[in-house]
């Protein structure tokens, strides 16, 4: 299908998508994930495929984010003579609760500014993109294991054994009922829920707000969000701290 959007519209949509991925990346970082954004799945051979528009394609697809969180991941704050453990989002750590087997949680994340979606390359088993990612993640013991994991991912969106979990996660402005029906094991998290988590995190742990040199190393969104909620807190305007603010930021680039 021909893209009829103007250059201005394409640039605007690109910025919206970039901001959505920045927010999602920060969310997973705050929850203890070691992550790699924009993971590209390349062709098996150095030969371009010709796309529908006649242009060469050198990659199979791209995952907005892949990451791993180990079951004992935690962050402890030592401040004002006290010791407090920061609480990660149950929507994520409950996927892989503490157990005797100490499962590691790998995630394959699709990020949309609007309705949650699963990209075709991750649902089309004939493309074998899932196998390529599983091989790179490195926890499959052999090729038979790779195929077993991929089969379950294509069928349900989740693989689990005694030691590892691979979970497909959709992030977006609205949860998709079709995904719920076709892939009930896929986790969907919307921007309102992410906003709730981030607001609670910063209000509960003001020690983490941007007030020192260490925060200069944060990504741009992290610094902006921290400064925004700090300003609300100082002015006593917590009634205006609405989780929907993330949707506004993704759309406009401002709070």
pLDDT digits (tens, 9 = 90+) for 146-162: 999 999 999 999 999 98
Gap between the terminal Cα atoms of the chain: 35
Q: How does pLDDT run across 113-131, given as a tens digit for each residue?
A: 999 999 888 899 998 999 9
**At residue 46, does pLDDT exceed 90?**
no
pLDDT computed for residue 26 by the predictor? 93
Pairing of strands 187-190, 164-172: parallel
In the predicted structure, residue 173 carries a pLDDT above the cut 50: yes
| pTM for this predicted structure | 0.86
pLDDT higher at 101 or 1 = 101
Q: Is residue 209 predicted with pLDDT exceeding 90?
A: no
DSSP strand pairing (104-111 vs 164-172): parallel
Interacting residues of 99 by C-beta distance below 8 A, sequence separation 6+:
71
What is the pLDDT, as a whole number, of residue 238? Answer: 63
Give me the DSSP letters along 27-93: HHHHTT-EEEEEEEEE-SSS-PEE-TTS-EE-EEEEEEEEEEEETT---EEEETTEEEEPPPPHHHH
Q: Would you place residue 103 in the very low, low, confident or very high pLDDT band (cuts 50, 70, 90)?
A: confident
Residue 205, SS3 per DSSP: coil
Q: What is the pLDDT of residue 239?
A: 57
């Amino acid at each position: 299908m021909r893209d009829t959007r103007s250059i201005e519209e394409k640039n605007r949509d690109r910025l919206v998508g970039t901001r959505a991925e920045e927010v999602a990346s920060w969310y997973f970082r705050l929850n203890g994930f070691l992550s790699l954004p924009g993971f590209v799945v390349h062709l098996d051979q150095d030969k371009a495929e010709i796309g529908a528009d006649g242009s060469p394609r050198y990659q199979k697809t791209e995952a907005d984010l892949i990451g791993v969180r180990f079951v004992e991941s935690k962050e402890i704050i030592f401040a004002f003579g006290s010791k407090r453990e920061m609480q990660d989002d149950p929507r994520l750590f409950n996927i892989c609760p503490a157990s005797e087997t100490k499962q590691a949680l790998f995630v394959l994340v699709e990020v949309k500014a609007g309705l949650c979606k699963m990209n075709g390359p991750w649902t089309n088993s004939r493309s074998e993109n899932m196998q390529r990612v599983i091989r790179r993640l490195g926890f499959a013991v052999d090729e038979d294991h790779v195929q077993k994991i991929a089969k379950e991912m294509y069928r349900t969106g989740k693989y689990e054994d005694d030691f590892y979990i691979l979970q497909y996660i959709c992030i977006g402005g609205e949860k998709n009922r079709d995904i719920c029906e076709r892939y009930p094991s896929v986790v969907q998290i919307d921007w309102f829920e992410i906003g709730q988590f981030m607001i609670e995190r910063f209000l509960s742990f003001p020690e983490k707000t941007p007030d020192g040199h260490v925060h200069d190393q944060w990504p741009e969104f992290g610094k902006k969000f921290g400064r925004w909620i700090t300003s609300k807190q100082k002015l006593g305007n917590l009634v205006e701290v609405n989780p929907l603010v993330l949707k506004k930021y993704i759309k406009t680039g401002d709070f």
